[in-house]
A and B are shown apart, each in its own frame.
Chain A
Amino acid sequence: MAALAALAMAPAALAADPPSILVSRQLAARARVAVGDVVTLAVDAGGARGRQFRVTGIYEPTPDPMRFTADRLEARLHLPDAIDIAADPADPASREAVSALNVKLADARDARFAPDLMARAPGVVARPTARSATDDPFVVLDRFHVAISIVTMVAGTAFLLALMVIRAEERRETVGVLRLVGISRRTLLASVAIEGLVVAALGAAFGILLAYGSEGVVNRVFQARYDTALVFVRVTPSIAVRAIVVAAPLGVLAGIGASWTLLRRDVLAIFHR
């Protein structure tokens, strides 16, 4: 029994041995009920077919990214108790009805189960609980975030390249002297590549540390804002590794690219002669 049409909840006088019920933390706070209280649940605010229950526990609802903006005003009760409240007395068949059945297949890859069931039981719709890539909003959000990361990376590369160009210009005379004393272009390019690598890797590491340090703040702000236990940001090792793996080659390329305009010239041209 997934949902009741309407749920009225109010502290009530103690009934003899009322059945137990769990209420969500949010509902307990809103209705000001505590463990041990007796409450009345009904299908509408007028108290139709109301029944008394004793609150035996308060639970944190499983965080659901699809519903993080929703007020989780929920209660969990035994199925027979829910049916007692929700079933239509005029329709005896309604006591036999539930809105959903969860089935665990012996072979999770068995694609014939759903069509077979729907063919045998007209009116029943069977669908997998696992979302496919085409109907999972988080797959789409992941693609969106990757696209944003690529744009940020392009801007970051331009930034790094500009800095490396300034560095290369600063060292014009030093490079000229090094070339004059016989140090090859390849060696100089290797040195700027290493410099670019170090700058990019240190930048990525600083970024990871910053993200790791701010993760708790971001999560706390959003968890308080939406009254949920959902984790919004998590810096995983794979994300950290990906950041460094992407940043390092870009740093090398930026270093080589910025220095190449200087190094490809003749030694005298470097000194403006």
Chain B
Amino acid sequence: MTSFALAWRTARRYRARTLLAITGVAVIGALLFDMLLLSRGLLLSFADLLHSSGFDIRVVSTEGLAARLPISGSVRLAEDIRQLPDVEHVLMIRIEPATVRAAGQSPRGISLIGSSDAEQSWRIVQGSALGSPAAVAEACPVLVTRPLAAAFSLRPGSALSINVRPPGVASALPAVDCRVVGVAEFAFAQIDELTAVTTLEAFQRAMGGGAADADLVLVTSKPGAPPGRAIAAIARLRPDLRVYSNEDVVAQFNRNGFAYFRQISLVLSSLTMVFAFLLVATLLTVSINQRLGEIAALRALGIGRPRIAAMLLWESVLLVGAGGLLALPIGEALALVLDRILRQMPGIPERMHFFVFEPRALAIHLTLLAVTAATAAAYPVWLTARLPIAETLRREVLG
């Protein structure tokens, strides 16, 4: 009989404890799997969000993308970037806090976005786009997010008044009368964010009529353009600005915005590993202590130490392997629940997720469980290797 067959018979003989051990490993394995998904989930989700926007280069005037200042001469810069041979598309964006008023409603603070392109980075869910004939006829056409539409009972055709409140500008700017042309979903909008987007021309009027420079220039490189060449060309155009690729932005996010979840994932992964090890090692050890007579008898029948050791290793592999495989669907289900909890956090874009599957996480999960199975079997193997056969059998018979 092979070592695996011996291990299999033991597992079947002690069915209740085997099932309970597999359950324990499955649950703790699910948690380990989820922590591995969490360790890079937000990062992968953020990268996916960046890539899905269609732009691969971001130009700003300050270090980082979080706190932005207007880019002086942004219109000229955008024109110059458009002339570069590796550039396909350029979009200018300006975001400022603003106050919205609608008839019979209390004013609310919102983010107002001015965009040089009517058709980018959002999906119209009701009404028409900023480039539609109805919108072009308006002096200040706006698209609003669903939360803003719900907060003010807005729909296409509704009127609202917007006051821009740029930080650092002491004088109050006059309100601008705008009309809602559509309701849209924005890629980077938070779940409950009140956001409106309008044309850059209307935004300039809201800013008092002067030239309102963009604070972010988004660039799409031509397909097949060598990576980095457009970035280098833009940096040569304006050495005073910061030019970031999507990878740079993700790396910044990884350094600054993601630390907590990376740390908690590391801590919890380590704890679950220790827990799984203790669980399997304790169960195997207690089980071996109960079966010392049986193992001594097997040895007396001529089954060598290596086969007994292999049997114990197979027992460990059966427990951890079955539990580890069950952990995958349980972990996926648990990840949905945990993701729903964490996505209630303020400031998280609606399309971002904390738990994202990647093959790397699965590979690490399986490797860690294999290591756990091997190390958990080490002590019971050592116990049986130094088992005195005759003395153990005598003790068992007398007992």
Contacts and interface: CB of A to CB of B under 8 A. Distances in A.
Contacts of B17: 162, 165-166, 169
Contacts of A141: 345
Contacts of A148: 31, 268, 338
Most buried by B among A123, A143, A154: A123
B111 interface: no
A206 B350 CA distance: 42
Contacts of B210: none
Contacts of B279: 155, 159
Interface of B is mostly: helix
Given A91-B170, A119-B107, A123-B163, A155 B31 contact: yes
Contacts of A154: 27
Contacts of A134: 344, 346
Given A70-B256, A119-B107, A151-B27, A161 B172 contact: no
A122 B163 contact: yes
Interface stretch (A30-38, A50-58, A93-101): A93-101
A151 B333 CA distance: 12
Interface in B289-307: 290
B99 interface: yes
B398 to A, nearest CB: 15
A144 B341 contact: yes
A158 B170 contact: no
> Size band of the A side of the interface?
35 or more
B136 interface: no
B290 A169 contact: yes
A118 interface: yes
B380 interface: no
Nearest to A137: B345
B72 interface: no
Contact of B337 (A93, A147, A161): A147
B320 to A, nearest CB: 13
Contacts of A143: 341, 344
Interface string B343-363: 011110000000000000000
Interface stretch (B18-26, B74-82, B83-91, B367-375): B18-26
A55 B344 CA distance: 43
A97 B170 contact: yes
A69 B99 contact: no
Contacts of B4: none
23 contacts: A5-B69, A69-B259, A69-B260, A91-B170, A93-B171, A122-B99, A123-B173, A134-B344, A136-B346, A140-B341, A140-B342, A140-B345, A148-B268, A155-B28, A158-B23, A159-B24, A159-B279, A159-B282, A162-B17, A162-B21, A166-B287, A169-B290, A222-B263
Interface of B: 14, 16-17, 20-21, 23-24, 27-28, 30-31, 69, 97, 99, 106-107, 109, 163, 165, 167-173, 175, 255-257, 259-260, 263, 268, 272, 275, 279, 282-283, 286-287, 290, 334, 337-338, 341-342, 344-347
Given A144-B342, A159-B24, 8 more contacts: A93-B171, A99-B167, A125-B109, A137-B346, A137-B347, A152-B272, A158-B20, A165-B20
Interface of A: 5, 68-70, 86, 88, 91, 93-94, 96-97, 99, 115, 118-119, 122-123, 125, 127, 134-137, 140-141, 143-144, 147-148, 151-152, 154-156, 158-159, 161-163, 165-166, 169-170, 222, 226, 261
